[in-house]
Amino acid sequence: MKKQHVPQDNSKSYQGQNKLLYAVDDNGHYEGVKSSGWEVESFATQLAVDDLNEQTEYALQQAHAGEVSPLAYHMLARRFDIASLSAATGFFQWQIKRHLRIAIFNKLNDKQLHRYCDTLKISRETLLSLPSQ
């Protein structure tokens, strides 16, 4: 992309900040150029955020119904999925999937709960509870 074609659409997702992109100058060399956003990128980001918010709300409903553990909600509310939570906590993915079951979650010991609390940056009380719907 040429330097003069770098989008400057004042994206809301940038929150007034700029993003560094690399573009080609008149001499054919790459140069860092600040961009205030691109409408298409902003639209795609908003779709992804909306999807994550829907998943989080659904997990909250399931947790309130007793279908999944509170971990399912807190994991998504802090933008983790099973793979990233596994990498961050050191639990295997199959263990996290088991911990999403309420009966298994209720049997977790303090050390296991503490690993989740540290990773999610929440207290034990928060991890064990749910916000009201």
* 63/5 Cα distance (integer angstroms): 48
- pLDDT at residue number 46: 87
- pLDDT at residue number 15: 80
Name the CATH superfamily, with its identifier, for domain 47-128: lambda repressor-like DNA-binding domains (1.10.260.40)
Q: What is the largest CA-CA distance in the chain?
A: 65
Question: Can you give the pLDDT of all 133 residues of the chain as single tens digits?
Answer: 888 888 788 877 778 888 888 989 888 899 998 888 888 888 898 899 999 999 999 999 999 999 999 999 999 999 999 999 999 999 999 999 999 999 999 999 999 999 999 999 999 999 999 998 7
- pLDDT at residue number 14: 77
> Across the strands, what pairs with 23?
31
Residue spans per domain, the chain: 3-37, 47-128
**Backbone torsions φ then ψ of 52, nearest 5 degrees:** -65, -40
Please say whether the dihedral angle defined by the alpha carbons of residues 48, 100, 129 and 116, taken in this order, is positive or negative: negative
8 A C-beta contact, residue 104 and residue 115: no
User: Is 93 in a helix, a strand, or coil?
Assistant: helix
- pLDDT at residue number 3: 83
Q: What is the 3-state secondary structure (H, E, C) of 10-79?
A: CCHHHCCCCEEEEEECCCCCEEEEEECECHHHHHHHHHHHHHHHHHHHHHHHHHHCCCCCHHHHHHHHCC
User: Is 115 in a helix, a strand, or coil?
Assistant: helix
- pLDDT at residue number 84: 98
Please choose, from the candidates 46, 48, 45, 75, the residue with its C-alpha nearest in 3D space to the C-alpha of residue 59.
75
